Structure 1
Amino acid sequence: DLKSVTFKGSETYLTDEDTPVLSPAAEDLAKRAMDYTPEKPLYVVAIGAITNVASALLLKPEIRDRIVLVWLGGNALHWPDNREFNMYQDVAAGRIVFGCGAALVQLPCAGVVSGFTVSEPEFKDYFLGKNELCDYLAHYAIEEGRRWAQAETWSRVIWDVTAVAWLLDGEFMDDTLLHSPIPQYDDTWTPSNTRHFMRYVYNIHRDVLLKDLVQKLTEK
């Protein structure tokens, strides 16, 4: 029963960097993380605005040592700006998670994950006719791809897969440790040489990850 483990998230974004947005999701995460330890942390995968996680950290600051946060958010550090959908919706929340000291894995959107694309012929060849789920996903992706295509030879970024893929065994991406940068309210990054380290994904092995995705979705 998925309803029993699904919690409603925040209905608004943070108004500042000190006040949490109360929600069942944030409260559950704060409580759930307390059952973990620095030696056995809770892995938290986030693929949207980071409001719920930031609120949980404000509710229970001590969970920062009990979680590993994997977030698809923000643009690559070399990108001209940091105006990325998951980040600019709630910059205050982004500043909290990048500054709190929790173990953080960032999968940047533009400049990194934006390279994980699938074209219409690939959707048709790899997914259509394999099973009911593949048919649904392929038809939806093709419809949306055509809707936003700027050319007949379009491809579509499959964003959210990458956050989960980081947790899997496989040569799906390259990452490195660097000092946590500071997200600014003017849609830029401020680099740092003194803040805590975080793990930064800088490259996606597109073909390897796509092969694994196809195998997992099409297996009987």
Structure 2
Amino acid sequence: MTTYPAIDEERLIRHLRHPGRKIRMVLDTDTFNEIDDQFAVTYALTSPDSVAVEALYAAPFFNELSTGPADGMEKSYQEILKILPLLGREDVPVYRGSTSYLPKEEGFVESEAASDLVERALASDPSDPLYVVAIGAITNVASAIRMEPSIAGRIVVVWLGGHAFSWPDTREFNLYQDVPAARVVFDCGAPVVLVPCMGVASHLHTSLSEIRDYVKDSGPIGEYLYETYKNCAKDHYAYTRVIWDISTIAWLANPDWAPSYLAPSPRISDDGRWIQDPTRHPIRYVRHLHRDPIFRDLFRKIAGGARTE
């Protein structure tokens, strides 16, 4: 049985507050799975006043776009490599992640991403934690925690996963692909900022006309994001699409756009529901997202082009 470090409650609550300053982060992303990851990668790399992106990790996924989690991870890795030159950010290291999901009981999935996360976290001062921003299945992060449980006291996890606590279930793609990994993250005691999908991040819709007007002419990355959005649907008449992966970066950019509160870390039932337990350690739960200022910030940063640190 994995033993996690006891984290002082005062320090835990302190690290659950918005940092109020520029932070170091890594971004864990299933970039080929949807079109919103590309926007999130772009948002992070064009927000140097808020975040310093130290590395990108390719996360596994398995749906109609992949033959399995290993194939999904590799396609995501290649998609990241395609995006970085468009942003002029080939300096950011990229690591392959897990080729399978987390074992149910014990153990971890070895990967470049998990090993790099352990190394970076161990090199971080506990008073200045590494932010681990995850927008896919959280296998890489959970594997790193199982590899080296002590890193739970040196990181802050910001994750888009599950649905709102008020939703009938939490059978959401990021969470339900790897429930054991989600349980590790919620059980290990690390500071977690949870951004739910349906009921919270599902507010973040945009349209082809908006992307055409405010993104398309913003250099190579703008053209790529426009074409990617255009190709996601055959008919764009009265059509919008959720770009919810940007929610995690939005909270770091300005917490006023993502109102939140402290709540007990949830458990996850075998049939995919949240189980509330008031005796558990706290996490930060984002309850709402203000759509307009978030997209306004994203569009302005894309229009400003990629900026170096």
Q: 1:171·1:208 contact (CA, 8 Å) conserved in 2?
A: no
Aligned mates of 2:216, 2:112 — CA distance in 1: 38
Bigger shift: residues 204-213 or 151-160:
151-160
Counterpart amino acid of residue 202 in structure 1? R
Aligned mates of 1:218, 1:4 — CA distance in 2: 21
Distance 1:133 1:5, change over 3 A: closer
3-state SS, counterpart of residue 203 of structure 1: coil
- Corresponding residue for residue 56 of structure 1: 144
Cα deviation per residue 1:43-92 (whole Å; 9 max; x = unaligned)? Answer: 11111110111011111111111000001111111111111000011000
- Corresponding residue for residue 196 of structure 1: 281
- Corresponding residue for residue 261 of structure 2: 176
Counterpart amino acid of residue 212 in structure 1? D
How far is the alpha carbon of 1:209 from its aligned partner? 0.4
Aligned mates of 2:200, 2:283 — CA distance in 1: 16
Counterpart amino acid of residue 166 in structure 1? W
Question: Does residue 1:140 correspond to 2:225, yes or no?
Answer: no
How far is the alpha carbon of 1:108 from its aligned partner? 0.6
Task: Give the counterpart of 1:37 among 125, 141, 144.
Answer: 125
Q: How many positions carry a matched residue from both structures?
A: 217
Q: 1:17·1:96 contact (CA, 8 Å) conserved in 2?
A: no
1:89-100 → structure 2 map (5 Å cutoff): 89-100=177-188
Question: Does residue 1:209 correspond to 2:294, yes or no?
Answer: yes
Aligned mates of 1:91, 1:123 — CA distance in 2: 34
Aligned mates of 2:221, 2:94 — CA distance in 1: 21
How far is the alpha carbon of 1:30 from its aligned partner? 1.2
Distance 1:118 1:92, change over 3 A: same
How far is the alpha carbon of 1:218 from its aligned partner? 0.7
How far is the alpha carbon of 1:216 from its aligned partner? 0.3
3-state SS, counterpart of residue 244 of structure 2: coil
TM-score between both structures, scaled by the size of structure 1: 0.93
How far is the alpha carbon of 1:24 from its aligned partner? 1.3
Task: Give the counterpart of 1:14 among 82, 97, 102.
Answer: 102
1:100-179 → structure 2 map (5 Å cutoff): 100-144=188-232, 146-147=233-234, 152-169=237-254, 171-179=256-264
Aligned mates of 1:17, 1:57 — CA distance in 2: 14
How far is the alpha carbon of 1:104 from its aligned partner? 0.2
Counterpart amino acid of residue 36 in structure 1? S
Aligned mates of 1:109, 1:174 — CA distance in 2: 15
Bigger shift: residues 68-77 or 169-178:
169-178
TM-score between both structures, scaled by the size of structure 2: 0.67
Cα deviation per residue 1:87-143 (whole Å; 9 max; x = unaligned)? Answer: 011000000001110000011111110110102221222222332221210121122
Counterpart amino acid of residue 62 in structure 1? S
Aligned mates of 2:105, 2:125 — CA distance in 1: 25
Aligned mates of 1:136, 1:43 — CA distance in 2: 28
Query: Which structure 1 residue ranges, 5 or more long, are not aligned?
Result: none
